[in-house]
Amino acid sequence: MTTTIDAVILAGGMARRMGGDDKGLVELDSQAMIKHTIDRIQPQVKGILINANRNQKVYSEFGFKVISDQDSGYLGPLAGMITAMSHTNADYLMVVPCDCPLLPLDLVARMLTQLESADAELAVASDGKREQPVVMLLKPSLRTSMKAFLDGGERKIYFWYAKHHYVVTEFSDQPNAFINVNTPEQKQQLSEAITNEKNNQRCK
């Protein structure tokens, strides 16, 4: 039986450090930042959900179902994950943020392999130095646990998944994979990194 995996791209934050601009729609290398994320993750999954709490009409133009947090008040990434888990029938849900345009092209395969070999409930990505809590592969059945955690006033994702059987999948071979954008300065740095990656691929 084939394992089915959907992805949710989290674009529901307030992006205060970006001056309030909607991060997923900020232009990077001539296209919206979320488009880079879509291009990286789409070949790896069955379906895509976009979690957005504003500009839903604009996000819908990318051709995927747009879902807003079931819990109002911008409660953070957990709220988006909880919502997404109630909108998928897949065996697993791949969670990625909208502002990581250099995600590994083998992200899902490597995380799934490690999760299943350890018979774990979820896998969390790492760049080799630190864990990336908003890049995880998990079973949608964990929604009940996550909802209870959020309803209890908790927000830190690490404290939630530390309660479960999880594995950490390292991508130290791809050091730029999880570079994200929180400020205009980081946006410029990332634009240069994308240009360099394209140039390297042309040289291969």
Q: What is the pLDDT of residues 33-55, one digit of tens each?
A: 999 999 999 999 999 999 999 99
In the predicted structure, residue 154 carries a pLDDT above the cut 50: yes
Domain locations in the chain? Answer: 5-203
- In this prediction, residue 56 has a pLDDT band, given cuts at 50, 70 and 90, of very high
In the predicted structure, residue 183 carries a pLDDT above the cut 80: no
Which of 25-29, 52-56, 122-126 has maximum average pLDDT?
A: 122-126
Q: For residue 185, what pLDDT is reported?
A: 79
- In this prediction, residue 119 has a pLDDT band, given cuts at 50, 70 and 90, of very high
Q: Of all residues in the chain, what percent carry a pLDDT higher than 90?
A: 71
State mean pLDDT over 83-108. 96
CATH T-level fold of 5-203: Spore Coat Polysaccharide Biosynthesis Protein SpsA; Chain A (3.90.550)
Mean pLDDT of the chain: 90
**In this structure, which amino acid lies at residue 123?**
A
In the predicted structure, residue 14 carries a pLDDT above the cut 60: no
Name which residue leads in pLDDT, 175 or 196. Answer: 175
In the predicted structure, residue 197 carries a pLDDT above the cut 90: no
Q: For residue 1, what pLDDT is reported?
A: 73
State mean pLDDT over 73-94. 92
Q: For residue 202, what pLDDT is reported?
A: 67
